[in-house]
């Protein structure tokens, strides 16, 4: 077995689930003995990924969001946030800081934050099929 532990969450794209998703992932990650800063970074990145699904993937309907977390060897948290929504036509444009197709209540900083707060970040998307965000965060072992 390549991983030590895992969990899978599935929930509808309601905005009240943003807090649920980031808290659930943080609770799961707690067994890796992260610092408060590491935990805060993970919570923030998950919040961004899930919010994107709610705002952009399913703009006019409720759809399913799946969050899968695994603990890999060397104390690495692996997080996948997946939707089956409308997808992203231009990934480079979507990732650009300050770019948003959302309203004035969006900042266009979601991907920038995910990229800078996680050790690795990968975005795959197909228009009409959905989007997958794959992030990893190494949790430093404390002496």
Shortest distance, position 140 Cβ to another protein, whole Å: 16
**Interaction pattern, residues 83-102, with another protein; x per rule: CB under 8 A:** --------------x-----
Binding to another protein by residue 106, rule CB under 8 A? yes
Shortest distance, position 2 Cβ to another protein, whole Å: 30
Binding to another protein by residue 107, rule CB under 8 A? yes
Binding to another protein by residue 48, rule CB under 8 A? yes
Residue of 92, 19, 98, 95 whose CA lies nearest to 54: 19
Binding to another protein by residue 47, rule CB under 8 A? yes
Give one DSSP letter per residue of the chain, joined into a string: --EEEEEEEEEES-TTHHHHHHHHHHHHHGGG---HHHHHHHHHHHHHHHHHIIIIISSSS--EEEEEEEEETTTEEEEEEEE-SS--S-HHHHHSTT--SS-TT--S-HHHHHHHHSSEEEEEEETTTEEEEEEEEEPPPP-
Binding to another protein by residue 30, rule CB under 8 A? no
What residues are annotated to the active site?
A: 48, 52, 106
Site for another protein, rule CB under 8 A:
15-16, 18-19, 22, 36-37, 40-41, 43-44, 47-48, 51, 54-55, 97, 104-110, 112-113, 116-117
């Amino acid at each position: 077995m390549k991983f030590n532990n895992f969990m899978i969450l599935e929930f509808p794209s309601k905005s009240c689930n943003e807090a649920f998703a980031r808290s659930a992932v943080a609770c799961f990650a707690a067994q890796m003995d992260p610092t408060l800063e590491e935990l805060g970074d993970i919570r923030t990145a998950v919040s961004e990924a899930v919010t994107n699904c709610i705002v952009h993937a399913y703009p006019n309907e409720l759809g399913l969001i799946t969050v899968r977390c695994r603990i890999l060897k060397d104390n690495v948290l692996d997080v996948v946030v997946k939707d089956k929504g409308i997808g992203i036509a231009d990934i480079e444009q979507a990732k650009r800081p300050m770019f948003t197709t959302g309203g004035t209540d969006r900042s266009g900083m979601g991907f920038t934050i995910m990229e800078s707060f996680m050790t690795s970040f990968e975005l795959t998307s197909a228009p009409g099929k959905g989007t997958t965000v794959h992030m990893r965060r190494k949790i430093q072992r404390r002496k």
